[in-house]
Amino acid sequence: LNFDKYAYVSIDSNFTERSLLSDVEIISSVNNTAQNDDSDSDVEEIEKPKKPVISSKEAIDKINDLKDFFLNKNQDFSKIVDFLFNIENVVIEKYLNKLINWFNLPRTMTFVEKDQNFSELVEESFKIGLKQHSKLSFNSQEYLSKKLKCLIKKFDTKYYGPFTTLCQSSGFGKSRACEALVDENFYVVYCCLRKKFSTTNFPPRSTLANFLQTNQNQETLITKYKCYFNLFIDMVSSEKIGCREFFEKYSHMNKEIMTCLAENKLKSTNKNSLLSLYLGSEPLVFIFDESSSLLDSNSAEECSYFILRRVLSQLEGNVFVLFLDTFTNLSEYHPQKFADPSARISTCQKILFEPIYLLPNWDLFADYDLIQTINETVKIENICRFGRVLWGSLMHTKLNSNGKFTSVSDDKIYDLAISKLLGGKKWNVANLDKNECLAVASFRIGTIKPRRVSTCQELVANNMAICTSVSINNDFFEIEFASEPILAIASAFLINDFGIDKLLESIIQSIESSLIARGERGETIAKLILINTIDRITKLESLFKNFMANVRKTVEAMKMNGSV
């Protein structure tokens, strides 16, 4: 759907007005055929009453009527849902359901106004180089560069292959740190495998993602994986161009040309082809971002990740591969030895590299010189300077855009923080589970450490907790809810939205079920009393200010009318 004032944020690449129209025509013809069928049937219909089948053109017009709702950004979305349910057209029901599901997403990510292009702000913010922390002598890409060079040097016959995962919670700057390896004299081949709509939808899905991800058999997948690695290894070896030039050339190459290069290489590749040996002096690193899509399996066959991993076991030379993800699927990237599909790992003949999870990307934009008074601490531009790089880069881009993003509302960033805190869910009170309540509380009252590994993994993956220690062999995680003002504000909003009673109930249940440790209960209770008191005072103060403002307006109006 494309309206004059609004830009459509894609959820399903096939869900366009054109495909909608053609599919409606097909379904309409089927329904019309069914209606003309006079054959007797003993089956009693128990479905909902049929509604009049209308033409495709009328169906499209009905959906375009939604434009009136979109023009008012404060409109209650529930009215839109009711409107959709009441459209008398059964032939496009599945598309209406798509729209209904769409409106259940976080409200910040439904439409982005063209004159307040938040998605463009996100994209621009990704171009900002990662700063060096004021308390450290190195930045993120320098740390990652040294780490990768160490792993390449360490790789020998006892390791299964030159690859590992880079895992951390959302917004931590994983993708940026990897792309910045170009500045550390790495040849970087970046491929984003993003498979679905997300809270920022950036970085976008890469050109060759579809080439690599097919629903074909193992033999075809192995052939394509080998083709992909050999294509770039051979180009790096033959072209003799610098790291930056190589990255710019192939990252921004026309989609058709890039696909053509891969298809031509595929003609000379088969499942038994050897992987090219890269011996260049500058390391070559392959990045697979949003790699969780490789873990999907639609059949009884092995998932794509383990097929790809088997190909990587043949990779040698000055090269390494990184899979980027949150902690959602870490146990699938690194299964227990006895459960690993590779016999060489399950019998302890080979080992895997431990995941990388620490990056020095905290408080990079903090500037204490700008915060001299209490009032300055609560300015949105200062709030965003602390915590993960996502917030700081967004605000830095907005403030230094020469007015380009001045019209972008600060509420967009707040809404993004709320959405991130809830793992992309809409903040619906009834849908908050124990983990979400735990995350909401922890970002405001300090660290509450879960005792269960699975809970730690979920909180890091979905609710912005930070992993500070992990041991795959010992099945051990340690997490922290670091001080992050914007998430504390998001937490305060949610607590006041669903009520502190629900929060207390969740924490009590978590303690009783041993989900979290019993230590420091007194301190936790004291913090809860304090934040509840602060919130009540703040509400009263706000009400008093509004009351006094109205009194002043009334007095001024009376003065103008001569009443006073």
| C-alpha span between 301 and 310 (Å, rounded) | 14
Q: Give residue 459's pLDDT.
A: 77
Q: Give residue 286's pLDDT.
A: 98
Identify each DSSP E strand in 228-362 by its residue range.
Answer: 284-289, 319-325
Kindly indicate the confidence band of residue 551, based on its pLDDT and cuts at 50, 70 and 90: confident
The CA-based angle 290-263-308, given to 5 degrees, is: 40
pLDDT in tens, 393-403: 999 999 998 88
Contact 167, 330 (CB under 8 A): yes
Contact 530, 522 (CB under 8 A): no
Percent pLDDT > 70 in the chain is: 71
Note the Cα 328 to chain centre separation in Å. 12
For residue 256, which amino acid is it?
Answer: E
More confident residue, 373 or 522: 373
Note the Cα 226 to chain centre separation in Å. 29
Among 276, 181, 200, which Cα is nearest to 233's? 276
Among the residue ranges 110-119, 510-519, 536-545, the one predicted with the least confidence is: 110-119
Question: Which pair of tokens denotes residue 480?
Answer: 């922290």
Residue 134: pLDDT above 60? yes
Percent pLDDT > 90 in the chain is: 26
528: helix, coil or strand? Answer: helix
pLDDT in tens, 337-349: 766 767 667 677 8
Q: pTM score > 0.75 for this model? A: no
The CA-based angle 97-102-108, given to 5 degrees, is: 165
Mean local confidence (pLDDT), 173-195 = 93
| C-alpha span between 262 and 186 (Å, rounded) | 22
Residue 16: pLDDT above 60? no
Q: In terms of C-beta density within 10 A (0-12 exposed, 13-18 middle, 19 or more buried), how is residue 25 classed?
A: middle
More confident residue, 425 or 8: 425
Residue 254: pLDDT above 80? no
Contact 224, 211 (CB under 8 A): yes
Report CA-CA distances (Å) from 548 to 240, 375, 558: 72, 21, 15
Q: Give residue 353's pLDDT.
A: 92
- The DSSP bridge partners found for residue 159 are 351
Residue-range domains of the chain with CATH: 6-33+49-104 (no CATH), 115-137+362-407 (no CATH), 140-346 (3.40.50), 422-564 (no CATH)
Kindly indicate the confidence band of residue 557, based on its pLDDT and cuts at 50, 70 and 90: confident
More confident residue, 388 or 28: 388
The CA-based angle 154-180-466, given to 5 degrees, is: 75
More confident residue, 409 or 435: 409
pLDDT in tens, 203-219: 888 889 989 987 678 89
More confident residue, 89 or 236: 236
Contact 326, 134 (CB under 8 A): no
516: helix, coil or strand? Answer: strand
| C-alpha span between 315 and 308 (Å, rounded) | 11
189: helix, coil or strand? Answer: strand
